[in-house]
Amino acid sequence: MKKYILFLGVLLHTACQSPAVFEQYEELSGESWNRNHIIEFKAQIPDSGLYNVILSIRHTTDFETANLWSFISTRTPDGRTVKDTVNLLIAEPDGRWLGKGGSIKTVEQPLKRNPVVLPGGEVSFSIEQGMRIEEMQGVKNVGIRIEQITEE
């Protein structure tokens, strides 16, 4: 019985680990995202291959709109730049929040072009908010997660 419980514990621990090769958030001062504030991340990609890139937003219940348009630029070590437009749905039309969490909600949205081929080395990501509102109130953190796709 003890071996069974130990095996189950190891299995659950392994199953709950994130396949992310990179995950980072930037906290926004005043829980506000200015249209001119570009958030940058530099990810060390271990190997060339297929990856999923996911944009994450943590917001408070003071967030003002039902969605958040964002622009993401990906710059590879060889200087190539690819741009994406992401529409994060934040709330249902009736006002119910779509994110996970209590007073701080987390919403994740994969890029439309996933999976993407990323080369090994330093890859830069620039994220800017694309709303017509100068200051998006209620945005606590903006982050990015990169997951390697492995063949099974």
Instruction: Write down the domain spans for the chain.
Output: 20-148
Kindly report the CATH number that applies to the domain delimited by 20-148: 2.60.120.260
Integer CA distances (angstroms), 99 to 95, 114, 123, in order: 12, 21, 28
Evaluate whether 72 touches 111 at the Cβ level (below 8 Å): yes
Can you tell me the mean pLDDT for 40-52?
Answer: 96
Q: Any bridge partners for residue 135, and if so which?
A: 34
pLDDT in tens, 83-108: 999 999 999 999 999 999 999 999 99
What is the model's pLDDT at position 152?
64
Can you tell me the mean pLDDT for 53-76?
Answer: 95
pTM for this predicted structure: 0.84
Beta-carbon neighbour count of residue 138 at 10 Å?
21
Cα(128)–Cα(142) distance, integer angstroms: 10
With cut-offs at 50, 70 and 90, classify the pLDDT of residue 150: confident
Cα(11)–Cα(16) distance, integer angstroms: 9
